[in-house]
Amino acid sequence: MSTTAPEAVAGGRTGLAGALVVPATIFVAIGLIGPVAILFRYSLNQFIPGQFMVDGLTIENYVKFFTDTYYLNVLMRTVRVAVVCTIACLIMGFPLAYVLARTESRFKNLLIMAVVLPLFVGNAVRAAGWMTAFGNRGALNASLMGLGLINQPIEIMFTETAVIIGIVAVNLPFMVLTLQSVIEGINRNVEEAAFSLGAGPVTMFRRVLWPLALPGILAGTILTFILAMNAYATPVLLGGPKFQTMGPLVYGQFAQQNNWPFGGAISFILMTATLLLTVAAHLIVQRRYR
């Protein structure tokens, strides 16, 4: 037989693969790239109070952002919160995902449902729930004072801590589910092989489980990092009016100040920062483990 036959088959496959990605590609093009492009164009326009938006080609909106420490602080705060949340999700999510992946319990599906359950409640509703828990007379302070552990209510509400707790609660299920599916794909015998070759649990984790779970760890951290960078409801409700992060800032410029060019610029900075940090983290991790 000729050697071209397999190639023809492979060619057919490529064609099929192409056809399979068409719908998603169209969706991404129309739903994502389009608006982003328009946003970018807006960000180069001028804003003249009273005149709304004036067509132009200027970088003054970007200059305004990067020369004002207020905005720079908002960006730094957003990045800091997102990094802390992502690390917290990873540290708490990994053991949970591991247990979920390895359990032979009949209630496994139930456990997974329990992890996803918080997502059934919308962001705003959940944040409202946190408000009642964290407030000066909230459940947490009430019970701590009731137990006599503290005599002044702890200020949690409207702090960075409250925002971090709130975002972690939202993002943890995404991290857990991503990690769980990857850990499930790691043959249990490989862990046992490491043990039998003399690796204790910590070494086994470092040399075997972690590197093999790395694709999932990357996917999970990217997902939770992006979600945390762009969080809106949680910082607004739990952080209060003085706790500004990028998400609410963008919204404010669009909806309250009607400053679309500046709002566009902030959006673009947020997106670029998210992208750059994600890629940087990705590269660092890959360099270390490949």
The residues binding another protein (CB under 8 A) are: 187, 189-190, 192-200, 203, 207-208, 211-212
Min CB(219)–another protein separation in Å? 17
Question: What are the structure tokens assigned to 114, written together?
Answer: 């329990």
Q: Closer CB to another protein, residue 18 or residue 201? A: 201
> Distance between CA 31 and CA 15 in Å, rounded?
24
Question: What are the structure tokens assigned to 126, written together?
Answer: 């959940």
Q: Closer CB to another protein, residue 121 or residue 190? A: 190
Q: Are strands 52-54 and 46-48 parallel, antiparallel or unpaired?
A: antiparallel
Instruction: Give Cα separations from 105 to 149, 153, 155, 156 (angstroms).
Output: 38, 41, 41, 37
Q: Which amino acid is at 77?
A: R
Q: Closer CB to another protein, residue 191 or residue 231? A: 191
Q: Closer CB to another protein, residue 105 or residue 132? A: 105
Min CB(193)–another protein separation in Å? 4
Q: Tell me which residue of 196, 198, 195 sits closest to 209, measured CA to CA.
A: 195
Q: Closer CB to another protein, residue 153 or residue 211? A: 211
The DSSP result for 175-202, as a single string, is HHHHHHHHHHTS-HHHHHHHHHTT--HH
Min CB(176)–another protein separation in Å? 23
Min CB(108)–another protein separation in Å? 18
Min CB(185)–another protein separation in Å? 11
Q: Closer CB to another protein, residue 49 or residue 198? A: 198
Please, what is the Cα angle at 253 between 226 and 84, to 5 degrees?
30
> Distance between CA 159 and CA 179 in Å, rounded?
30
State the distance between the two ends of the chain, measured CA to CA, in whole angstroms.
41
Q: How long is the chain? A: 290
Min CB(195)–another protein separation in Å? 4
Min CB(182)–another protein separation in Å? 13
| Sign of the CA dihedral with 42 first, then 44, 49, and 55 last | negative
Q: Closer CB to another protein, residue 183 or residue 229? A: 183
